[in-house]
Chain A
Amino acid sequence: MKLLRIAPFLKIGLCLQTLLVAGCAGSIDESNGQLEHHRPDHKPPTFPAAVEQLAQRHERIVVESHSNEAGALERELHEQMDIVNWLPELAADSALKKQDWEQVQTASKELLNIYQQVDATVHGSPRGEWPAAVSKIPPIVETLTRLVPRSTDQL
């Protein structure tokens, strides 16, 4: 008898639940059933490619910093920070050993810290002076470049 008394509660619960989940139905069809993780266009495929891009993009950032177009510089900076963030993952997907990987991780943290300072000056109005730490970027990139030969697969 007690079980019979709870039947209306279950019905209400199920109706509410159906309403809540109704929005999910069919969502898989939105992309014709194709499921892929989004990979950003600027994500380099390998660690060597990432290091190469870092150097090139840094030069572009320096050039952009002298122009008045803030949008291009901002985009370039944010993409550069993304690449810096991906460095440990890309290095782990290479033949680098633990000690070398830890160097990459340290470099990634340092670079990210510097670029965040640069980003803060770009967003300031008027645009502020770049931090002195920017001068450390080329040696850090140089360190990463020296690791590239060791990252090629020996498997």
Chain B
Amino acid sequence: MWEAIIWGACLRFAQASLQASPFIFTGLCLAGLFHRLMGQQHTRWLFGSNTVASLFQSWVIGMLLPGCSLGVIPIVKQLRRSGIAVGTIFAFALSSPLFDPLSMLYGLTLSKPMTILAFAFCSLIVVTVSGSIFDWMFPDTEVVVEEPPPTPHGIKRLLAVLVVMARETVGGTAIMIVCGLLGSALLSTLLPPGSLQRTMAHDNPYSPLLMTAIAIPAYATPMTAMGQLGSMFQHGNSIGAAFILLIFGAGMNLGLLLWMIVNYGWKKSLVWMGLMLAVVISFSYGIERPLYPTEIEPADHTHAFDIYCQPFQSNASPAGGYPAEILRRIKLETQPHEWFGVVLLVALVALGLILRSLDRTWVIETWLNRPSEIREQSTRKTWDLVVPGPVLAGVGLVGIIAFSIVGCFAYYPSPVETLEELNLAKTEALSAALNGRSEHALHWIPICEGWNRRLQVGAYLRHGRLDEYHRMKSRVLADHLELLEHMMENQDPPEEIRKQVASTSRAFGRLSMAFREELR
């Protein structure tokens, strides 16, 4: 039994690490930009500090920049160095992981886009109310940290950003991030496989509280949280619990809490958490009825939270052993951009370790900060302008936002391309179901579900709207896929499965026709 739990925790740790890697890299880039290009003074100007306006500013910046609750750790560290108050720092830290262009688009194509907009507005109220009260109670949280001397312009300035990023990956930030990842692993050891499937019901008054206990140690990327929200709406789960999942599941983790305690002490951290819990839980109970979709038939269970539970059944160990099964799952599930993030992080860690070992004999910052020989004005070409650091940092920030918007078009391809991918995944899933290969079918069905969602978002992105007809066609396919998934899990008779395969195939055919021929 313990073997399954421990290996399961290893798998959850690895999955969370892979999902987080692109966001951690983005967070490190931003921290480097703020530290070496923007500087403390301009960072303080951008975010503000200790005012209600600064809370709003930070919320807006957080909403625009892509990030996750682990990726914000290096950024909040830099914001603290810049002398920004805790309320403002946490307004950014909480809002940045909640939404980004990718997840916002996903959310807007859910059956109740108004709910997503309401959640976004509620998150603004949460950070404003709790941040204002906290800053009023503790007005002296702005620290003064000596700023490093400016790096001369040119390649050295860019190298300095890279050096900051590399050093963060082998310093205290890395420990906090690992603690955040361990939260997910630890949570899985406490929750038996599938134990959350029948929880979070709309009529259960304890759903928001239970979600709070789960969401704080859990780690979810914005897209994961949004996907779970979609599943919760579809299954008629508690709206309050969904809101808590977004705020605490996506916005908070153990690493971030640890950072708060280490930097601001017990008292302030407990007050902050108390304020957050009070405001968020009050909101969750307040929105339960007004935002609940009445036309939805509540389902008796959901698989949305299986990823927080133990992945392995204790009574059935994998045929090839746990390590082989973990490797197999990671290879199957990990997306190319996640591998890319891992490679970049490994390179940064390697660079960080090299710099650390060099520190005894040669500190790279000393060389970076040494003024370069001033080139004679006459020898400089007219296009060789000196761009101020803050301007470069601003361009970098806008570039990251622009890249994440452009990325939406790559992540959500055109309906025709998506239908081709969906067709491939559907063929795998249905043929496996017909041949009785449950494991293979159960792997491909969620992939079909993912492409089905991306189909809707891709169409919405390109046409500016998605009508009810197409939403309903997608919903019908999703229902058929889910039913097939349950039949495979329950090992229903082959005859029943054959019928369900046929109806799922028909549903795909109709969906395909609707999106190819009737999309305007």
Using a CB–CB cutoff of 8 Å, the interface residues on chain A facing chain B are 2-3, 5-6, 9-10, 13-14, 16-18, 20-21, 23-28, 30, 33-38, 40, 85, 88-89, 92-95, 97-98, 101-102, 105, 153, 155
> With A92-B510, A153-B506 given, can you name 19 additional A-B contacts, CB distance below 8 Å?
A2-B261, A3-B258, A14-B186, A17-B216, A18-B190, A20-B213, A24-B210, A28-B194, A33-B490, A35-B301, A35-B489, A36-B490, A38-B299, A93-B510, A98-B514, A98-B518, A102-B469, A105-B468, A155-B509
Interface hit among B63-71, B195-203, B403-411 = B195-203
Nearest opposing residue in chain A for B261, CB measure: A6
Using a CB–CB cutoff of 8 Å, the interface residues on chain B facing chain A are 186-187, 190-199, 209-210, 213-214, 216-217, 254, 258, 261-262, 266, 295, 297, 299-301, 468-469, 472-473, 475-476, 482-483, 486, 489-490, 506-507, 509-510, 514, 518
Give chain A nearest CB distance to B415 CB in angstroms: 15
Give chain A nearest CB distance to B53 CB in angstroms: 33
Nearest opposing residue in chain A for B468, CB measure: A105
Nearest opposing residue in chain A for B212, CB measure: A20
CB within 8 A of A155: which of B198, B473, B486, B510? Answer: B510
> A92 touching B469 by the CB < 8 A rule?
yes
- In the A-B complex, the 9 residue pairs with the closest CB atoms: A20-B213, A92-B472, A24-B195, A155-B509, A98-B518, A93-B476, A28-B194, A17-B213, A27-B198
> B198 touching A30 by the CB < 8 A rule?
yes
Give chain B nearest CB distance to A11 CB in angstroms: 12
> B469 touching A26 by the CB < 8 A rule?
no
> A89 touching B261 by the CB < 8 A rule?
no
> A35 touching B490 by the CB < 8 A rule?
yes
> A16 touching B213 by the CB < 8 A rule?
yes
Residues of B within 8 A of A18 (CB): 190
Residues of B within 8 A of A98 (CB): 469, 514, 518
> B191 touching A21 by the CB < 8 A rule?
yes
> A17 touching B190 by the CB < 8 A rule?
yes
Residues of B within 8 A of A3 (CB): 258, 262
Residues of A within 8 A of B197 (CB): 27-28, 35
Docked CA distance A25–B198 (Å): 10
> B469 touching A21 by the CB < 8 A rule?
no
Residues of A within 8 A of B209 (CB): 20
> A9 touching B266 by the CB < 8 A rule?
yes
Known contacts: A37-B486, A98-B514, A153-B506. The answer to whether A21 contacts B214 by CB under 8 A is: yes
Docked CA distance A33–B316 (Å): 15
Give chain A nearest CB distance to B454 CB in angstroms: 19
Q: Is the interface of A mostly helix, strand, loop or mixed?
A: helix
Docked CA distance A26–B197 (Å): 10
Docked CA distance A30–B299 (Å): 16
Docked CA distance A89–B266 (Å): 53
Give chain B nearest CB distance to A37 CB in angstroms: 5
Q: List 6 A-B contacts (CB under 8 A).
A: A6-B266, A21-B213, A24-B199, A34-B490, A105-B469, A153-B506
> B490 touching A25 by the CB < 8 A rule?
no
> A37 touching B195 by the CB < 8 A rule?
no
Nearest opposing residue in chain B for A85, CB measure: B295
Residues of B within 8 A of A5 (CB): 266
Give chain B nearest CB distance to A49 CB in angstroms: 14
> A28 touching B195 by the CB < 8 A rule?
yes
> B195 touching A88 by the CB < 8 A rule?
no
> A25 touching B472 by the CB < 8 A rule?
no
Residues of B within 8 A of A153 (CB): 506
Give chain B nearest CB distance to A33 CB in angstroms: 8
Give chain A nearest CB distance to B311 CB in angstroms: 14
> B190 touching A92 by the CB < 8 A rule?
no
Docked CA distance A102–B470 (Å): 11
> A89 touching B506 by the CB < 8 A rule?
no
Docked CA distance A20–B509 (Å): 45
Residues of A within 8 A of B199 (CB): 24, 27
Residues of B within 8 A of A101 (CB): 469, 472
Residues of B within 8 A of A13 (CB): 216-217
Residues of B within 8 A of A30 (CB): 198
> B191 touching A24 by the CB < 8 A rule?
yes
> B261 touching A9 by the CB < 8 A rule?
yes
Residues of A within 8 A of B210 (CB): 20-21, 23-24
Docked CA distance A93–B504 (Å): 10
Docked CA distance A18–B190 (Å): 7
Residues of B within 8 A of A28 (CB): 192-195, 197-198
> A37 touching B300 by the CB < 8 A rule?
yes
Residues of B within 8 A of A38 (CB): 297, 299-300
Most buried by B among A3, A21, A38: A21
Give chain A nearest CB distance to B232 CB in angstroms: 15
Most buried by B among A17, A34, A38, A101: A17
Nearest opposing residue in chain B for A97, CB measure: B518
Residues of A within 8 A of B297 (CB): 38, 40
Give chain A nearest CB distance to B109 CB in angstroms: 16
Give chain B nearest CB distance to A76 CB in angstroms: 19
Give chain B nearest CB distance to A151 CB in angstroms: 11
Residues of B within 8 A of A9 (CB): 261, 266
Residues of B within 8 A of A105 (CB): 468-469
Residues of B within 8 A of A35 (CB): 197, 300-301, 486, 489-490
Residues of A within 8 A of B506 (CB): 153, 155
Give chain B nearest CB distance to A47 CB in angstroms: 11
Most buried by A among B186, B195, B197: B195
Docked CA distance A58–B216 (Å): 51
Residues of A within 8 A of B266 (CB): 5-6, 9
> A88 touching B198 by the CB < 8 A rule?
no
> A26 touching B518 by the CB < 8 A rule?
no
Most buried by B among A20, A34, A102: A20
Residues of A within 8 A of B295 (CB): 85
Nearest opposing residue in chain B for A43, CB measure: B297
Docked CA distance A154–B213 (Å): 51
Residues of B within 8 A of A23 (CB): 210
Nearest opposing residue in chain B for A105, CB measure: B468
